[in-house]
């Protein structure tokens, strides 16, 4: 996985170098802020049934536009974002009905909120109006993240845990999802890394700045829990959809 990340970074640097040799020179810096909404799930193995976990993202953006190669405007973009990830379990019976807490009479819910500082570095390629108009763009590159904390929200205890297998529910629970190890395990790997790709539109307004709307997908190559043969989970990586709005001004 680390080799894949190294190849991606090297490809971005190599592409930028090629553009610098054959394209029309640019030397433009842009900075700004951005924010939006995230939908995240954890790729657990063994599988944990989940709904998408909703969260936020906000932070700073810096972009350096270096070349125009034919109709493609080429730039390098870096961000520093605070992002809420995590997972929200779908607690239901094998018949698809929600599980009711017998003591409180409420539907049982479990959610883990995890806060990350994320740093993506993108090759930013755009087509359309360079200034005073609209262009479409794509972002592609590696991303790293550091977990700064997590919080659990649940409204039940762990009933009917198997005596022989304490990380799973006993069949008496009636739950479709038998795996419960993740409900009490704190995060083990605070460093996260992976690949992000996004696409969107940007509107440059003269004497005002740049407004852009982007949809982005992040696939984590690291796991939040250990993944050796003696660990419980073989995989536990982030899968995130971002809807992000940003404002940038040219320096």
State pLDDT tens for residues 170-213.
444 557 777 888 988 999 999 999 999 999 999 999 989 999 99
> Does residue 156 form part of some domain?
no
> Does residue 16 form part of some domain?
yes
> Does residue 235 form part of some domain?
yes
- The total domain count for the chain is 1
> Does residue 17 form part of some domain?
yes
Tokens of 74: 């080429």
Q: Domain containing 77: what range?
A: 2-87+111-147+190-250
pLDDT of 103 = 67
Tell me what the pLDDT averaged over the chain comes to.
86
Confidence at 84, pLDDT banded by 50, 70, 90:
very high
Q: 């109709």: which residue's tokens?
A: 71
The Cα–Cα gap between 46 and 40 comes to 18
> Does residue 175 form part of some domain?
no
pLDDT(18) > 80: no
pLDDT of 179 = 83
> Does residue 23 form part of some domain?
yes
Q: Write out the H or E segment, with its range, that includes residue 246.
A: strand 235-250
CATH assignment at residue 218: 2.40.160.20
> Does residue 240 form part of some domain?
yes
> Does residue 184 form part of some domain?
no
pLDDT of 209 = 95
Strands (E), 49-190: 50-51, 53-69, 72-89, 110-128, 133-154
Distance of CA 76 to the CA centre of its chain: 20
Residue 176 three-state SS: coil
């Amino acid at each position: 996985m680390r080799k894949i990340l190294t190849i991606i970074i090297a490809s971005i640097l190599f592409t930028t170098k090629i553009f610098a040799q054959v394209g029309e020179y640019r030397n433009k810096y842009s900075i700004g802020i951005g924010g939006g909404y995230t939908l995240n799930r954890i790729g657990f193995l063994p599988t944990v049934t989940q709904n998408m976990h909703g969260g936020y993202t906000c932070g700073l953006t810096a972009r350096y536009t270096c070349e125009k190669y034919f109709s493609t405007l080429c730039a390098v973009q870096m961000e520093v974002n605070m992002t809420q990830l995590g997972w929200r379990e779908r607690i239901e019976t094998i018949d698809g009905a929600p599980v009711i807490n017998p003591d409180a009479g409420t539907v049982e819910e479990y959610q883990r909120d995890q806060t990350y500082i994320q740093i993506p570095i993108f090759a930013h390629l755009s087509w359309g109006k360079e200034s005073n108009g609209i262009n479409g763009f794509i972002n592609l590159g590696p991303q790293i993240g550091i977990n700064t904390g997590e919080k659990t929200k649940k409204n039940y205890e762990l009933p009917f845990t198997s005596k022989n297998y304490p990380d799973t529910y006993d069949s008496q629970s009636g739950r479709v999802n038998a795996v419960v190890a993740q409900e009490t395990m704190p995060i083990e790997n605070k460093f996260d890394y992976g690949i992000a790709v996004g696409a969107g539109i940007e509107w440059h307004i003269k004497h005002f700045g740049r407004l852009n709307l982007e949809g982005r997908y992040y696939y984590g190559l690291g796991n939040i829990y250990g993944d050796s043969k003696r660990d419980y989970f073989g995989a536990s990586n982030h899968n995130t959809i971002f809807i992000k709005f940003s404002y940038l001004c040219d320096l």
